Amino acid sequence: MKLIFAIVSNDDSSKVSKELTKNRFSVTRLATTGGFLMAGNTTFLIGTDDDKVDEVISIIGKHSKKRTQMVPSSASYGVGMYTSFPVEVQVGGATIFVTNIERFEKL
Tell me whether residue 77 is in a domain.
Answer: no
What CATH number has the domain bearing residue 37? 3.30.70.120
For residues 84 and 77, the answer to whether their CB atoms sit within 8 Å is no
Please name which of 36, 45, 50, 38 lies closest in space to residue 13, comparing C-alpha atoms: 45
HSE value, Cβ hemisphere, 13 Å, CA-based, for 14: 1
Task: Supply the pTM of this predicted model.
Answer: 0.77
How many structural domains is the chain composed of? 1
Q: What is the pLDDT of residues 40-71, one digit of tens each?
A: 789 999 999 999 999 999 999 999 987 776 66
pLDDT of residue 68: 75
Tell me whether residue 62 is in a domain.
Answer: yes
Tell me whether residue 82 is in a domain.
Answer: no
Q: What is the pLDDT of residues 84-107, one digit of tens each?
A: 677 776 666 899 999 999 998 888
Tell me whether residue 60 is in a domain.
Answer: yes
Band of pLDDT at residue 83, cut at 50, 70 and 90 = low
- Domain around 13: 2-66+92-100
pLDDT of residue 106: 83
- More confident position, 34 or 48: 48
Tell me whether residue 32 is in a domain.
Answer: yes
pLDDT of residue 37: 60
Tell me whether residue 78 is in a domain.
Answer: no
3-state secondary structure of 71: strand
